[in-house]
Amino acid sequence: MLAVERRNIILQKVSDEGKVVVAELSKEFDVSEETIRRDLEKLEEDGHVTRSYGGAVVNEKNSIDLPFNVRWKANATGKQKIGELVSSEIDDGDHIFLDASTTSVFIAKGIKQKKRLTVITNSVENIIELSDVQDMDIISTGGKLKPGSMSLLGKAAFDCVNSYNADKLFMSCKGIDMEKGITDGNDDSASIKKIMIESAEKIYLVVDSTKFGRVAFSQICEIGRVDVVVTDVKPDHEWLALFERNGIRCLYPED
């Protein structure tokens, strides 16, 4: 196994579990503990983890995005459930924004049978996913490719989004907190979502249950700015009460 592959698996583990232990990783990958320590040093240099005695913990500052292929695997089952719920919210002929989150790729997979859709996205993965669909207009925002994230950002992307008016926006985030609102890992990602919000008639927040109660670096908007929250697990009573007070419809699997 290449070192980069091993580090990606370690990133996935620390993202899912919050921490990793050097001795356990050494046995799992059948490499020396010193090799694992070098992996953790590299991940710490990249801003993904904070080393601790005997291991490492996830970087709670959340200001640096994990690589797309790592984020893609995180709670994939939950994201698939969200994608299935969202499909019923999209009508033939809709004009929609899809952000560059991994959740939006699951949405893209679920809307291929829709007719006459116009999809505006800053996600390279969404463009690839929908590239073989005939009865659909796909508009790329253009912009500067952010390494590792598969997202297009910067002035060109912002100007493109600002030039359209969509029926619906489907966006995710890194954290949703009752006090801090909806947040993302950096200013550029948050900024393009702010523009999408202003350019869409109806705002859907598509967010799996791991994001509840978390706060990331840059605020996108207040919770009350969204119209619908779509998630993979029924939120607890406190969250449902908050959504009701703000006139937000909440969708989640019934089973």
Residue 71 has pLDDT above 80, yes or no: no
Q: Which domains does the chain have, with CATH numbers?
A: 3-60 (1.10.10.10), 69-251 (3.40.50.1360)
Residue 64 has pLDDT above 80, yes or no: no
Confidence (pLDDT) at 9: 83
Q: What is the pLDDT of residues 8-59, one digit of tens each?
A: 888 877 766 778 899 999 999 999 999 999 999 988 888 778 898 899 887 7
High-pLDDT (> 70) share of the chain, %: 92
User: Taking CA 11 as the corner, what is the angle to CA 153 and CA 49, rounded to the nearest 5 degrees?
Assistant: 85
Helices (H), the chain: 3-17, 22-29, 33-45, 68-73, 76-87, 102-110, 124-129, 155-162, 187-198, 237-245
The mean of the pLDDT values for the chain is: 90
Residue 75 has pLDDT above 60, yes or no: yes
User: Taking CA 109 as the corner, what is the angle to CA 211 and CA 150, rounded to the nearest 5 degrees?
Assistant: 65
pLDDT category at 152 given cuts 50, 70, 90 is very high
Section 214-219 average pLDDT? 89
Residues 150 and 109: their CA atoms lie apart, in Å, by 17
